[in-house]
Structure 1
């Protein structure tokens, strides 16, 4: 069981962090995800099950709190090389714009965009994880990106 934790910890941590944008609560969700996973009797695809458990935990939390915040669209990369201050400022502004735009689109679009664009999962993987058809994933991705571009374009014109 420890090998499952080691294999999937980073991916589950990142996924929950992207959904919550709150590093203070991520560890609790990751821990609860793996606890629930280990109590599951039927395991066909461990990563699929871990993502579903994590997703449900986060959604339940937000439903209870009635907080729906969404994520900056940038993979966290823990490299040793530090970016220049100008790069950090530019990235920060871009992330803020993207964050505001994402907050304005439908939840199902957001999640598909996160999994496809940030987590870089295939259409087939996203469909499997979210229990959607591949056609739905493609449609949500296209529609979500179109809405996102329109929102960002309108805000740039202001």
Structure 2
């Protein structure tokens, strides 16, 4: 697969993953670009699963960024509200945007590993095995982490959450 196809196919999902991990749009864009730059410069001849490989590179860059900046031990749990321009938009979009904002804020309150499992399993709908491959954890650890993260999200968001 050539790089342009790879980029087009995986850019959006990679950006979404990083955006959920860092909760800052500009930083997510920068780290996504760094992810694909690193992949472009690397030797990908022996890569069997590009989706897993891209996620591992993105994950490492996110963790490296926070380690280098020493903001907190691994990932930030505090985030300043994003500054956005006020523009008139339809009511439905506002409701969706508010729900999305609440989800970002709730995700930031989870432990880093819980946040990552929720992103992979619930938001991106990856299988347990795909999540294991990316995170390097056992299926049992993924399942247990997902269960505890869903309970934590339920408490943070104050509602019923489907754990399937």
> What TM-score, normalized by structure 1, do the two folds share?
0.75
Question: Which range moves more in the overlay, 34-43 or 62-71?
Answer: 62-71
Unaligned runs of 5+ in 1: 72-83
Q: Aligned partners of 1:61 and 1:88: how far apart in 2?
A: 32
Which of 50, 58, 63 aligns to 1:59? It is 63
Residue 56 and residue 122 in structure 1: after superposition, are their counterparts in 2 closer, same or farther (change >3 A)? Answer: same
Q: Aligned partners of 2:110 and 2:30: how far apart in 1?
A: 28
Unaligned runs of 5+ in 2: 80-88, 160-164
Partner residue in 1 for 2:142: 137
Partner residue in 1 for 2:119: 114
Q: Aligned partners of 1:20 and 1:47: how far apart in 2?
A: 20
The RMSD of aligned alpha carbons is: 2.6
Partner residue in 1 for 2:19: 17
Partner residue in 1 for 2:33: 31
Residue 5 and residue 152 in structure 1: after superposition, are their counterparts in 2 closer, same or farther (change >3 A)? Answer: closer
Question: Which range moves more in the overlay, 118-127 or 4-13?
Answer: 4-13
> What TM-score, normalized by structure 2, do the two folds share?
0.72
Q: How many residues align?
A: 142
Residue 14 and residue 93 in structure 1: after superposition, are their counterparts in 2 closer, same or farther (change >3 A)? Answer: closer
Partner residue in 2 for 1:77: none
Q: Aligned partners of 1:58 and 1:91: how far apart in 2?
A: 26
Q: CA deviation at 1:69?
A: 5.3
Residue 93 and residue 132 in structure 1: after superposition, are their counterparts in 2 closer, same or farther (change >3 A)? Answer: same
Secondary structure class of the residue paired with 2:158: helix
Q: Aligned partners of 1:7 and 1:89: how far apart in 2?
A: 29
Q: Aligned partners of 2:145 and 2:78: how far apart in 1?
A: 17
Residue 28 and residue 96 in structure 1: after superposition, are their counterparts in 2 closer, same or farther (change >3 A)? Answer: closer
Q: CA deviation at 1:52?
A: 0.6
